[in-house]
Every structure is written in structure tokens, then in C-alpha cells.
Amino acid sequence: MPVLFSALLPPDDVAEAITAAISAALGDGLRWEPPERWHITLAYYGPDDVETRAAWLGARLAGRPAVDVRLEKAATFPGVLWLTVAGSELEPLAHAAGAGAEPRPYRAHLTLARFPREEPGLAARWTQQLAGFTSRRWQAAEVALMTSERDPGGPRYRVARAFELDHA
């Protein structure tokens, strides 16, 4: 069974703005996520059947409104550099998608890079450099049910199903 999660995908112009902000990143000791892996996780399901999870998720998202989202300054978890995500309706959407079932509290973010946990200083430059980063606000009108497959170069994500949210 594939590993599944639900996510919001940033629009192309937002991904381009992120790319421009980190364009000097190569060779700095971080393992940068390529733009095709950028997403905002709503909920992680682990190994699951796509059809069963899609039916469950579709029922949970039915009638939910589209949400306004914006990416902002960088922060870190141990070993992870990420952008914060602003949007007042994002957390309720994530909980509808199943985020409340996870053992840790939901924290909306977009992972940019990974680094050795014992070397947090590698990311310090980027939390400072991206402190003023703000993307444009966009309306996320679709939730993607994603599959994650292991490849030698890292995970490969694919949209298995997409669920439209109601436009206001």
C-alpha cells in the first residue's frame, strides 16, 4: 500500500517566488527540497488504500470552503528548515482532513530543506535571510490526496486524487 497524506500545493508563481528567495542556496550544507516536492501537509495517513482514503477524505471535505493562504518567514524544527503558513481557516481544514489524529500538534509549514540535527547553525543563515519573506496570498481551492514513494533520490510525490473546496 502506498504512503498517503493530504496537502495544499502552492501555485506556480508562489513556488517561483520561493525559488528566487533561495536561489543562492546551493553548496551551503543543506539538502534542499526541489520545488516539485513543495506542499503544505494537512494530514499524514501512512500506508493506506487510495480508494478507501479518498472516499473518507471526500466525505470530510464536502462543503468545506476554500481557504486563503500565504507563506511567510522561515523557521526550523530539529533538522528541518521551513516556511510558516498563515491562513485563519487552514487549521480547521487540516483537522477536517485528519490532522487531529496525529500525536503531535498541527503546525502548517512548507519544508524547504533538511540538515543534520547536530548542526542547527546550518539553517540559521536562512532563518535570518528569509525573516522578511512573504508570498502573495492565494486561495487554496483544492486539497490533494498525495502518494509518497521512495526513490534513490528521495521521495516522489504524486497526486492520487484532488478535492475541490467551495469557492466563496
* Tens digit of each residue's pLDDT (9 = 90 or more) over 118-145: 988 889 889 999 999 999 999 999 999 9
The amino acid sitting at 49 is D
How buried is 147 (Cβ within 10 angstroms: 0-12 exposed, 13-18 middle, 19+ buried)?
buried
| Burial tier of 4 (Cβ tally within 10 Å: 0-12, 13-18, 19+) | buried
Q: What is the pLDDT of residues 67-89, one digit of tens each?
A: 999 999 999 999 999 999 999 89
User: Which of these, 5, 7, 49, 11, lies nearest to 136 by C-alpha position?
Assistant: 11
The string of pLDDT tens digits covering residues 47-68 is: 999 999 999 999 999 999 999 9
Does residue 18 contact residue 130 with C-beta atoms inside 8 Å? no
